[in-house]
Amino acid sequence: MAHGTAMALLVAALAAAAAATAAASLLWRRLRAARAAAPAGTHALVRDAVPDLLAAFPDPLLVVHDRRVLIANQAARDLLGAHIEGSDVRLAIRHPAAAEHLARNEEGQAPVRIELVGLGELGRPWELTIAPLSGGRRLVRLVDQSQTRAAEQMRVDFVANASHELRTPLATLIGFIETLQDEAAVDPATRQRFVGIMAGEAVRMRDLIDDLMSLSRIEADRFAPPRETVDLRPLVEEVREAVKPMAGDRPIRFERGAGEALVAGDRGQLAQMLTNLIVNALKYGRAGSRIRVRLADAGPDLVSLAVIDQGEGIPADHIPRLTERFYRVDPGRSRQVGGTGLGLAIVKHIVLRHRGRLDIRSKPGVGTTVEVTLPRAAPAATAA
Ligand SMILES: Nc1ncnc2c1ncn2[C@@H]1O[C@H](COP(=O)(O)OP(=O)(O)O)[C@@H](O)[C@H]1O
Ligand SMILES: [Mg+2]
């Protein structure tokens, strides 16, 4: 193939592929500009960059002409076979839904999009796009849809789980209301007991709705960096006071390193994060055992805030999943102590919004340390 033709082809291929990514489209514009502006000798330079550019696309890409695969990038060869260049595209992509479109040969057709399952890894969903290029060539691009599908599935599961969580206390409430209505003579002691249970279930529903609303508010703010400058020392003192009624006689010790602990943060959210962690330490800690809140330097630009308990601990295989919504090691126990299963999901989202890091370390039978590392406030923000 003549260099000029190869060049034109690849530039056009990149143009079509680049439609999806801003960075790639910038590359392509530079490439086109270079082609237009450069004296003849520099074409070779640009041309040499083309294989790199094609290879840099993570998605499988094919340039097809007359049903034959002219070019396949590395991702395409990995997925469809090392020797697909030169072969019939319908053999390269063996898929009934795609075959008819791939076989077409007319000029100037509008791009086609097809959803496929069954290429490469079993069950992996792909979106196949066929876009026309000049000279009867077509660009075939495959985009892995697994992450999009997983996100959709998560949304569906979340709604189902939230509904289920709300429905359970509601069913209990309705059951007791019916009993109280039906039975003419419920003795006062029994009535009192029923009302107590009903109050508990109503509180559970309210807590769940509060947590759901917090989570959605925090997620809505996800891309808006917090602007206040927050000193973590008084914040810890405040939260410690607030949870005291719940702690009863259990000591919550505050260990603070010297120096300031100023972070750019949302004060309300940071307080909520710390409250959730201390409440977990209280709920899953051993009766009478001590809880430590440790504030320390974690390098020149970072502050670490850790909540350490001497509780039952968490088996290692559960740890990666604790921040999923409604994930609990022991659902019965969590409900019994008034948990919603959303506390650590809220913590995770607050930490993410603050560009921090969340580490959960635990030894069953010994205790759990949940550590949040946050960037210190920038000096300018500190002065303000
Ligand atoms: N400090 C801890 N010690 C032991 N287990 C914990 C601790 N913190 C959280 N967990 C476990 O993680 C699960 C999820 O925590 P969280 O999201 O706060 O929900 P919950 O409302 O159940 O407390 C809890 O149900 C519990 O099994
Ligand atoms: Mg909790």
Q: What is the DSSP string of 135-192?
A: GGEEEEEEEE-HHHHHHHHHHHHHHHHHHHHHHHHHHHHHHHHHHHHH-TT--HHHHH
Domain identity same for 228 and 377: yes
Alpha helices in the chain (DSSP H): 3-18, 22-37, 43-56, 74-80, 89-92, 96-103, 146-182, 188-220, 232-247, 267-283, 331-336, 343-353, 379-383
Q: Is the alpha carbon torsion for 12, 14, 20, 21 positive or negative? A: negative
For residue 358, the ligand closest to its alpha carbon is 1
CATH of residue 212's domain is: 1.10.287.130
Calpha distance 362→291 (Å, rounded): 14
Ligand 2 centroid to Cα of residue 341, in Å, is 6
Does one domain contain both 44 and 59? yes
Query: Taking residues 95-113, what's their average pLDDT?
Result: 79
**Angle formed at CA 373 by CA 371 and CA 374, multiple of 5 degrees:** 145
Residues 261 and 355 in one domain: yes
Side-chain half-sphere CA neighbours of 7 within 13 A: 17
Q: What is the pLDDT of residue 269?
A: 97
Domain count, the chain: 3
What phi and psi values does residue 309 have, to the nearest 5 degrees?
-120, 165
> What digits encode the pLDDT tens for the residues 19-78?
445 445 555 566 666 666 656 666 777 767 766 777 888 899 999 998 899 889 999 999
Question: What band does 2 get if pLDDT is binned at 50, 70 and 90?
Answer: very low
Burial class (CB in 10 A: 0-12, 13-18, 19+), 232: buried
**Beta carbon of 341 within 6 Å of any ligand 1 atom:** yes
* pLDDT value of residue 20: 45
Give yes or no: residues 378 and 229 share one domain. Answer: yes
pLDDT of residue 299 exceeding 90:
no
Nearest CA to ligand 1 atom 16: 343
245 plus 335 within the same structural domain? yes
Are 113 and 156 within one domain? no
Domain hosting 118: range is: 3-144
Last residue of a domain, one of 96, 114, 144: 144
Rounded to the nearest whole angstrom, what is the distance from the C-alpha of residue 279 to the centroid of ligand 2?
6
Domain shared by 82 and 180, yes or no:
no
Distance from the alpha carbon of residue 280 to the mean position of ligand 1, in angstroms: 6
pLDDT at 19: 47
